[in-house]
Chain A
Amino acid sequence: MSHDEFQKYDARILTPSFVVLLTLTVIGFALVAVRFIWGLGAVTNMSDGYPWGIWITYDVAVGTAIACGGYAMAILIYIRNRMHYHPMIRSAILTSMFGYGLAGFSVMVDVGRPWNSYNFFIPSKWQVNSAMFEVALCVMAYTTVLLLEFLPAVLTTLEKTQWKTLQLLLDRLYSRMGMKRPERIGDRLDMVKDVAAWLKPRLDKVLIFVIVLGITLPTMHQSSLGSLLLIASTKLHPLWYTGFLPLLFLINCMFIGYSIAILESIISSYAFKRPFETKELSGIAGIIPWLTVIWLSVVIGDLTWRGQLGAALSLDFYSRFFLLDFGLVAGGSLLLFSGRKRESIRWLFVSAALIVLGGALYRFNVYLIGFNPGKGWHYFPALAELLITVGIVAFEILGYQVIVKILPVLPKLHTRQQLDTEHGVVEKV
């Protein structure tokens, strides 16, 4: 686990996209303020029939699946021992960290009485029958784990930093105030560097246990995200209501995780004008069809067993959404079975996008579209509700953009060429 595999992306932080994203973020967070002053009803279309809207469905259920890139890559690298994918892990973990952190934030916006959340830490209040309890604790723990996993990037930077910007700022500040800058500030800054240097090798030693925890926890809570709807036996449409919900959600998050890792890599290569990581990406893409085939088989097998195949093909409202999510996942996977298409960035992008869309639609189907509380209830998100979600997503992209420019996150460019020569060397041996 060498830290030299990663590098900062040297570029300006204040770009036009930065300004756009910042604007969206500010709008979203202003509406969050409205929600806390005038109540949930002021910004959302949620109702007693549809108590969970777009925030839980998109920000939490879909958002954490999309944030499973770090989880999927960690399985690939540490469990299936594909160390040459290691340079891709940090950007995957960074997006996971944002995904999970902001899912947690969305939950705090969504719940009515967030000040009572401390009850999750009081054993007498624990309610182990509740899938929600498991999801909540697991997601909190996993967000902490992601922070720890990302810490090496921060420590490396702290260790090497000259504090140039800060020094400059302090100098200007003190001269403006007409005072001399006290010496002890420099000492303090050196102390931070020393602590970072002391902590890094120690963290490296135990990091593997944290990483494995980072694989165990998503396995638990991603399946529990499916278990959440097991109670809604009378409300969730039979096309999706099955005892296999936890298993389906687990596999679903894995193939979304690998697909999103591909998409992220292609998009950031494109946006930051770096060479595409075609070799790694086609390798990852080879795994996805296996997962989707298992998933699709479980879906079909389960529908057959419960006698719902006819309903699935009836082409009514529910059937159409079912066929759409099924078709997107199946179509994307079909493309990936072709070895030649896996070598093409264009086809990789298309198939990964199809699978992410299909996988996400599956979660929408379970949480919203297939959910029917009874006659007279309708739900479509309000504009303000959507803008809060948009603001949160904008903040996520914004944070990613800024952090890759100040911390070593992206794969170092020359290691890629080195990798190819190394492959040649090994083959010769």
Chain B
Amino acid sequence: MRKPSRRQFLKIIGTTGAALIAGRGTATASEVHHVNNDTLGMLYDATKCVGCKACMSACKRVNSDYGSLSYERAAFDKDGLWDAPQDLSGSTRTLIKLFKESDKKWSYVKYSCMHCQKPSCVSVCPVSAMTRDAVTGIVDYNKNACIGCRYCQIACAFNIPKFQWDKAIPQIVKCDLCKNTNLIKKGITACAEVCPVGAIMFGKRKELLAEAKKRLQENPGRYEQHIYGEKEVGGTNHLYLSAMPFNKLGLPILKDAAPAEFSEKIQHTIYKGFIAPVALYGTLCFVAIRNMKKGQADEEHVQVAKMGVGDDSAPEHKEDNE
């Protein structure tokens, strides 16, 4: 009795383990990831940016109603004259920061959603509130589906989705390339439209990549020889050029593989066609019912044995030969 049941038990553990190992194997094997270069994106050139923050104010002006954005007041600003966000937040979708290494070495940097080709936030959202448009490549958020679990925030390697912590009816805030506002009206994002020095270029990913490569070629001394976002986490539609190492500007050093591919592989291997759970349930049912029947038989056996010994209390337990 003891041996078969332990074997059964180990088998269950074994199957799960095998599934995982299989998942791991395939995850590393398939690095073929389809990048769609016809999707929309932006190229931000940090060497051109003058830090005027026109993009920030345009973004908030255009999207404040649709995106539930508000102005963030500085502590000193009693009259509420300025919008002074410290960081991306539940009220701010895009932000310019200045990174200063020394008086001569400094750079502006603009933060907003990277619009990944294989977005982690879309992969983890349990109710499809985060979606990626197959044609435009825009990673969009639907507050009417969102349950506010903030798994997208855990998942995003760039820490882009922000949550409205101070609201009773909160939502996630992130750039949607003005999908519902400026893009419909004018065919361009608000930030790219207002940039006075052409630091933000809006267009299809292939055009942006070509332009970035051209700039790198024409001015090799001016730039870090790397287009940030071309390969990172499976490619992003928001691309960066800079004179300084990107990680100094707050853009993390990331691998080329999309994290979502690995996690999805494991999840898919375990739950492929829902076969494993059903098989597990079937096996367990079989074992449990067999045990129950055996238990009933044993009980009768014990009853007979008891009558022989002359014990008159009714048996209430099934026995096994442990």
Contacts and interface: CB of A to CB of B under 8 A. Distances in A.
Interface of A: 2, 4-5, 36-42, 44, 46-49, 51-52, 75, 78-84, 86, 107, 110-114, 116-117, 119-120, 124-134, 136, 208-209, 211-213, 215-216, 219-220, 223-224, 227-235, 243-244, 246-247, 250-251, 283, 294, 298, 373-374, 415, 418-419, 421-422, 425-426, 428-429
Contacts of B292: 78, 208
B171 to A, nearest CB: 7
Nearest to A44: B165
Given A78-B288, A133-B127, A51 B270 contact: no
Interface of B: 1, 5-6, 8-9, 12-13, 16-17, 20, 23-24, 27, 88-89, 120, 123-129, 143-151, 153-155, 157, 159, 161-171, 252, 254-255, 259-260, 262-264, 266-268, 270-271, 277, 280-281, 284-285, 287-289, 291-292, 294-295, 302, 305-306, 308-309, 311, 313, 315-320, 322
Given A114-B147, A227-B266, A294-B13, A133 B155 contact: no
Contacts of B260: 129, 231
A39 B168 contact: yes
B127 A2 contact: no
B288 A233 contact: no
Contacts of A418: 313, 316-317
A374 B252 contact: yes
Contact of B127 (A5, A127, A422): A127
14 contacts: A38-B168, A40-B165, A44-B165, A112-B148, A113-B147, A124-B128, A130-B151, A132-B124, A133-B126, A227-B270, A231-B154, A233-B262, A250-B16, A426-B302
A40 B167 CA distance: 7
A112 B150 contact: yes
A83 B1 CA distance: 13
Nearest to B290: A81
Contacts of A127: 125-128
Q: Which 9 A-B pairs have the closest CB atoms?
A: A112-B148, A41-B165, A83-B318, A51-B150, A133-B126, A230-B263, A113-B148, A51-B153, A81-B291
Contacts of A298: 17
Contacts of A124: 128
A132 B149 contact: yes
Contacts of A41: 165-166
A119 B316 contact: no
A49 B250 CA distance: 14
A131 B120 CA distance: 12
A379 to B, nearest CB: 13
Nearest to A86: B317
A124 B6 CA distance: 42
A145 to B, nearest CB: 12
A312 B279 CA distance: 37
Contacts of A113: 143, 146-148, 169-171
Given A79-B291, A246-B270, A426 B127 contact: no
Nearest to B150: A51
Nearest to B309: A425
B259 A231 contact: yes
Contacts of B23: 243
A212 B270 CA distance: 19
Contact of B12 (A129, A219, A235, A243): A219
A250 B12 CA distance: 11
Contact of A244 (B20, B295, B306, B311): B20
Given A134-B271, A246-B266, A125 B319 contact: no
Contact of B167 (A39, A80, A247, A294): A39
A421 B124 contact: no
A128 B270 CA distance: 12
Given A5-B316, A113-B169, A130-B123, A428 B309 contact: yes
Contacts of A213: 281
A120 B127 contact: yes
A129 B123 contact: yes
Contacts of B302: 422, 425-426
Contact of A81 (B149, B313, B320): B320
A208 to B, nearest CB: 6
B319 A231 contact: no
Contacts of B268: 129
Which one of B143, B162, B170, B288 has the highest number of Cβ atoms from chain A below 10 Å of its Cβ?
A: B288
Given A83-B295, A132-B151, A126 B128 contact: yes
Contacts of A42: 166
A79 B7 CA distance: 11
B259 A233 contact: yes
Contacts of B8: 79-80
B245 to A, nearest CB: 15
Nearest to A208: B288
Given A52-B154, A419-B317, A215 B127 contact: no
Given A422-B302, A422-B319, A243 B145 contact: no
Nearest to B146: A113
Nearest to B253: A234
B147 A84 contact: no
Contacts of A244: 20
Nearest to B12: A219
